[in-house]
Every structure is written in structure tokens, then in C-alpha cells.
């Protein structure tokens, strides 16, 4: 039986929960992280020395870092179109996974946290706008980030896409991105773990 250490209001945990739903896999959830179980115990740090969720335990295998967990699950319990076997096709998914993690999510997270804390200045807004503009342009020609089928790239980007549409700037165009968000909403795992669980 798989065990996941995480929390429902964590975007990184949510990605793992959604993939497990897509794979139709049962798992035990150990509520862990901010507001739930401690991550600074010796037992947890033995699994993840950085004290972060999610962490996946699959028998004797322990995997941390959400994207690594996604790749492990898709590879171990595939084959699946979510992370194709063909290396060229897989590289497209990997590129968008890394791009979403490095170029979309960090500036959006900083922007949201600054606004939530009431700090003035939107220094990260240009980077966020550049990222969502790039996605909107790409999605003019494909249904999902890595082509016309849902992939791990979409699961990685989904929490940030959801949170982008909670900002006032999201109303200024971005029709392709809005249609993409609607397509994501057709997936039960997205609705359950992203749309209905994340602020």
C-alpha cells in the first residue's frame, strides 16, 4: 500500500493526490505539514531531510519533491499517456513540468503572498504576466501544455493556473488559458484536489 505524507491545502501535495486519482490507486494519507502533523521530527526528517511535504512511501522506497513523486508514480505504475514512454514525447512533458515549477509558480507565489500580507508593490507581476501570456499563446494550438492529452505537465501547472484566475488581472484576456482551465475542470481529480481544496 502506498502512503502519502501531505496536506489537502498544499499545492504540491494536491498534485500527487490528483495523479493518484488519475491512476486509480488507493493510498493511506498521513496528514502532515503546516496545521497538521509535524515535519521536524527525526522520523520525518529521515524520510525527507528538508522537512517538506509531500513524501511518498512505496514499501521500502521513499520519494520526496512533488515532481519526483509524480515521475516515480507515472513510471512505476504506468505506462500512461500522462508521462509517455517515448523519450522525445516525455521530454516535452518534462520541459513544461520544469518550466511551470521554475518560471510560473515562484513569481505567482511571491505575488500572492505579498498581496495577502498587504505589502505594496507588484514587483513579480511582470514575470507572472509573461508566464501566463506564454501559456495562453501555446494553448492557441493545443488542448494541453504538452499536446492534446493531459500530462504530468498540466498536473504540475494546475495549482498555479487555478490561483492565477483568482487574481483581478486574470480578467484581462487570456481566452485560451481560460478555456484550458475549463478543460482541467472536467477532471474529477482537478476539481477535488485543486479547485475545491486550494485557496
Taking only the tens of pLDDT, the chain with its 199 residues reads: 899 999 999 999 999 999 999 999 999 999 999 989 899 999 999 999 999 999 999 999 999 999 999 999 999 998 788 999 999 999 999 999 999 999 999 999 999 999 988 887 689 999 999 999 999 999 999 999 999 999 999 999 999 999 999 999 998 789 999 999 999 999 999 999 999 999 8
Q: Which residues contact 75 (CB under 8 A, 6 or more apart)?
A: 83
Q: How many residues does the chain have?
A: 199
- Give the residues across from 147 on adjacent strands: 144
* CA-closest candidate to residue 64, choices 126, 3, 116, 138: 3
- Give the residues across from 64 on adjacent strands: 55
Q: How far is CA 17 from the centre of its chain?
A: 10
Q: Considering only CA atoms, give the Rg of the chain.
A: 17
Residue 199's pLDDT is 85
* CA-closest candidate to residue 101, choices 70, 74, 77: 70
Q: How far apart are CA 148 and CA 45, in angstroms?
A: 40
Start-to-end CA distance of the chain, whole Å, equals 30
Peptide bond into 54 cis (omega under 30): yes
Residue 149's pLDDT is 95
Tell me the H-state helices in the chain. 11-23, 42-47, 66-77, 87-99, 105-116, 125-138, 152-164, 175-184, 188-190
Q: How far apart are CA 192 and CA 155, in angstroms?
A: 13
Residue 14's pLDDT is 98
Phi-psi region of 84 (alpha: psi -120 to 50; beta: other; left: phi over 0): beta
Structural element, H or E, at residue 8:
none
Amino acid at each position: 500500500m502506498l502512503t502519502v505524507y501531505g496536506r489537502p491545502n498544499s499545492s504540491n501535495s494536491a498534485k500527487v493526490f490528483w495523479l493518484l486519482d488519475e491512476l486509480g490507486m488507493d493510498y493511506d494519507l498521513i496528514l502532515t505539514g503546516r496545521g497538521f502533523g509535524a515535519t521536524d521530527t527525526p522520523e520525518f526528517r529521515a524520510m525527507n531531510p528538508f522537512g517538506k511535504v509531500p513524501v511518498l512511501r512505496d514499501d521500502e522506497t521513499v520519494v520526496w519533491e512533488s515532481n519526483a513523486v509524480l515521475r516515480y508514480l507515472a513510471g512505476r505504475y504506468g505506462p500512461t499517456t500522462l508521462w509517455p514512454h517515448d523519450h522525445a514525447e516525455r521530454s516535452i512533458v518534462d520541459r513544461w513540468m520544469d518550466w511551470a515549477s521554475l518560471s510560473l509558480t515562484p513569481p505567482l507565489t511571491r505575488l500572492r503572498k505579498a498581496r495577502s500580507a498587504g505589502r505594496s508593490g507588484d514587483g513579480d507581476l511582470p514575470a507572472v504576466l509573461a508566464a501566463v501570456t506564454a501559456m495562453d499563446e501555446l494553448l492557441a494550438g493545443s488542448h494541453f501544455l504538452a499536446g492534446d492529452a493531459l500530462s504530468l505537465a498540466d498536473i504540475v501547472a494546475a495549482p498555479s493556473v487555478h490561483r492565477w484566475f483568482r487574481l483581478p488581472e486574470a480578467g484581462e484576456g487570456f481566452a485560451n488559458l481560460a478555456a484550458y482551465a475549463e478543460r482541467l475542470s472536467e477532471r474529477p481529480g482537478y476539481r477535488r484536489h485543486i479547485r475545491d481544496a486550494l485557496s
